[in-house]
Structure 1
Amino acid sequence: MAEIEGFERRRDSVQAALAASGLSTLQEANELLKAHNIDTAELVRKIQPICFENACWAYVLGGAIAVARGVTDAAEIAETIGEGLQAFCVPGSVADHRKIGIGHGSLAARLLSEKTRCFAFVAGHESFAAAEGAIGIANSANRVRNTRLQVILNGLGKDAGYIISRINGFTYVHTEWDHAKRELNILGEKRFTQGPRAEILCFGADEVEEGVAIMIHNQVDVSITGNATNMSRFQHPVTGTYKRWCIQNGRDFFAVASGGGTGRTVNPDENGAGPASYGLTDTVGRMYADAQFAGSSSVPAHVDMMGFVGMGNNPMVGATVSLAVAICQAAR
């Protein structure tokens, strides 16, 4: 087994999770999954090739717990994987306080639930992590769902949306917001491939109002915001405003605020406060989010700094769904 980053800080919680499931070591957990023809490390790296080793082993633990318990429903498997991810959170860290491992399991479970029809990555299009996560979900979730989950990207900039679509083989949806009539007009679609990736719809907005209208148009049930360059002028305002619209219109909407924590917030209130220092993006996320992650949506090192594992939060969504589906199919 390769050396796991920061394992000494996670050893006790990992061993407790293993013992609770009748397992002795992570190697034993990995062999259990391999016996079901599941190569967890390969699956995780397909989503984000630059992830840390500790991310691969965190998913080994979560997946093995599900197999050891005999869980067969995909959504329940996702929840169980979250327990393994949580065990890899460093005790006392930002990730531990926010129960981010449990949060990732809960988010993936919602994406595998038939009640969820549309999932949105609300991200600055300079973040390719949203695309990585979207691909992971599109390639796996619909294998076990009775109704197809619609995955969309909603970001700032039509040119950026077009480029992201072209590079990843998505379908670009060209929209225009009519300020006078307060209507969203669909001007056309450009499908770049014919496979599962083309089912992912990518929208580029000129500003917040259009971004909210895109959310309403797609009747988004669950979303995750990225903390990229435009988070304070697009991602958080769009999702927070859409959350308000859903409350006013009696619609259930589960919002996840990705990113935040120390070191990457805008205008931290007190640089000397360490983990107690939060800036604008972290604060705004707390105002509307049902669950809040920590660390970068894309950069593994920053998520690890928050006390979690080395994998971007957006790709992690795809990894959790993919592993849950693989275990579900192996059980069948």
Structure 2
Amino acid sequence: MLSKLAEYGIGSIEEAEQITKDAGLDVYHMIENIQPICFENAKWAYTVGAAIAIKKGCRKAADAAAAIGEGLQAFCIPGSVADRRKVGLGHGNLGKMLLEEDTECFAFLAGHESFAAAEGAIGIASKANKVRQKPLRVILNGLGKDAAQIISRINGFTYVETEYDYFTGELKEVFRKCYSKDPESPRAKVNCYGANDVQEGVAILWKENVDVSITGNSTNPTRFQHPVAGTYKKERLEAGKKYFSVASGGGTGRTLHPDNMAAGPASYGMTDTMGRMHSDAQFAGSSSVPAHVEMMGLIGAGNNPMVGMTVSVAVSIEEAATAGKF
């Protein structure tokens, strides 16, 4: 990590922090606010990434996101799953993609609607559109309509209830409720869906014209999110439309619950395997649990919240550049 800092003429982490503070940024607390349970190294990794972006003279958020990825990669433990998969750089490149104009809709594709997906969505929704010409739409798509409504209500999202017609293959919207006082707020713009099964999950992605998604990793992976991403990938390819699929986790080699995968030892590492089948990029560890991502050799922050962290810090760097802070 120090050798990466030295590439940009930065002598220490403390110096990196000062570079960000001189630009008017408080990266440490920005990261803490997105996922309060994240580890210390996550706050410092993003501080290092932000300092690298400033030193590189990144004046656009998309470029800053890629530079932040260099900082995250520098925190990877050599030889670890995260290091081999270049997960740090991957996070930077995903953030870059979400800040560029040709990405229309980003989906958190969850086994059930989760707080981690919400944390990531809030981080993106509150920041990304400050620097984009055309607003990026962010949706949550998970298994279970009640869970989707609860998460919407807690976080101030817009709950969208759908009904899938298995005879015609049509998806109908039957109910919509905004849980924000201000229907124009960033949180209100996040549409939150609950599906009953894979077919409805795929239809929801088509309804929103999702072109980038990240799968959750912990709940229902064989039952919902990986099959949804894989099926949607196939259908998008057949239709000649682009779709970039990110698998948030894997690498932990954990055995799935028998309810998900009644295969005994054969279920070992199954989430990792399924992610490899559809993903354009695969991260490591959990979509939500900091310790799982740390175990994979990266930093202590869930992969979903990290997407929000990357976008938030990158946008703040563009704002600082525009204000003449560096």
* TM more than 0.5: yes
**1:265, distance to aligned residue in structure 2 (A):** 4.6
Cα distance between partner residues in 1 of 2:268 and 2:228 = 21
Q: Which residue of 1 aligns with 2:121?
A: 134
Match of 2:321 among 306, 311, 331: 331
SS of corresponding position for 1:121: strand
Cα distance between partner residues in 1 of 2:310 and 2:168 = 41
Paired residues for 1:89-100 under 5 Å: 89-100=76-87
Paired residues for 1:140-289 under 5 Å: 140-193=127-180, 194=182, 195-266=185-256, 279-289=269-279
Q: Which residue of 2 aligns with 1:274?
A: none
Task: Give the direction of change, closer, same or farther, for the CA distance of 1:104–1:268 in structure 2 (3 Å limit).
Answer: farther
Q: Which residue of 2 aligns with 1:113?
A: 100
Q: State TM-score, norm by structure 2.
A: 0.94
Match of 2:284 among 281, 294, 301: 294
Q: Which residue of 2 aligns with 1:4?
A: none
**1:111, distance to aligned residue in structure 2 (A):** 0.4
Cα distance between partner residues in 2 of 1:311 and 1:269 = 30
The one-character-per-residue Cα deviations of 1:98-151 (angstroms, maximum 9, x if unpaired) are: 000000001000100100010000012253100000000000000000010000
Question: Does the 8 Å contact 1:41/1:57 carry over to 2?
Answer: yes
Q: State TM-score, norm by structure 1.
A: 0.92
Cα distance between partner residues in 2 of 1:239 and 1:19 = 40
Amino acid at match of 1:131: A
Amino acid at match of 1:314: N
Give the number of aligned pairs: 314
Match of 1:310 among 300, 310, 320: 300
The one-character-per-residue Cα deviations of 1:292-329 (angstroms, maximum 9, x if unpaired) are: 01111111011000000000000000000000000000
Question: Does the 8 Å contact 2:77/2:298 carry over to 1?
Answer: yes
Match of 1:52 among 39, 61, 75: 39
Paired residues for 1:23-38 under 5 Å: 23-38=10-25
Q: Which residue of 2 aligns with 1:62?
A: 49
Deviates more, 1:225-234 or 1:134-143: 225-234
**1:262, distance to aligned residue in structure 2 (A):** 1.9
**1:268, distance to aligned residue in structure 2 (A):** 12
Cα distance between partner residues in 2 of 1:178 and 1:242 = 18
Task: Give the direction of change, closer, same or farther, for the CA distance of 1:29–1:164 in structure 2 (3 Å limit).
Answer: same
Cα distance between partner residues in 2 of 1:126 and 1:191 = 16
Question: Does the 8 Å contact 1:261/1:278 carry over to 2?
Answer: no
Deviates more, 1:243-252 or 1:262-271: 262-271
Task: Give the direction of change, closer, same or farther, for the CA distance of 1:248–1:211 in structure 2 (3 Å limit).
Answer: same
The one-character-per-residue Cα deviations of 1:194-246 (angstroms, maximum 9, x if unpaired) are: 22101000000000000000001111010000012111100000011000011
Cα distance between partner residues in 2 of 1:294 and 1:221 = 22
SS of corresponding position for 2:101: coil
**1:173, distance to aligned residue in structure 2 (A):** 0.4
Question: Does the 8 Å contact 1:44/1:56 carry over to 2?
Answer: yes
**1:16, distance to aligned residue in structure 2 (A):** 1.0
Q: Which residue of 2 aligns with 1:125?
A: 112
Amino acid at match of 1:83: E
Cα distance between partner residues in 2 of 1:268 and 1:286 = 21
Q: Which residue of 1 aligns with 2:310?
A: 320
**1:280, distance to aligned residue in structure 2 (A):** 1.4
Question: Does the 8 Å contact 2:53/2:68 carry over to 1?
Answer: yes
Task: Give the direction of change, closer, same or farther, for the CA distance of 1:149–1:37 in structure 2 (3 Å limit).
Answer: same
Task: Give the direction of change, closer, same or farther, for the CA distance of 1:328–1:227 in structure 2 (3 Å limit).
Answer: same
Question: Does the 8 Å contact 1:268/1:280 carry over to 2?
Answer: no
Question: Does the 8 Å contact 2:110/2:117 carry over to 1?
Answer: yes
Cα distance between partner residues in 2 of 1:63 and 1:234 = 36
Amino acid at match of 1:253: Y
Deviant stretches of 4+, over 3 Å: 267-271
Cα distance between partner residues in 1 of 2:40 and 2:264 = 33
Question: Does the 8 Å contact 1:264/1:295 carry over to 2?
Answer: no
Amino acid at match of 1:231: P
SS of corresponding position for 1:31: helix
Deviates more, 1:318-327 or 1:280-289: 280-289
RMSD across aligned positions (CA): 1.6
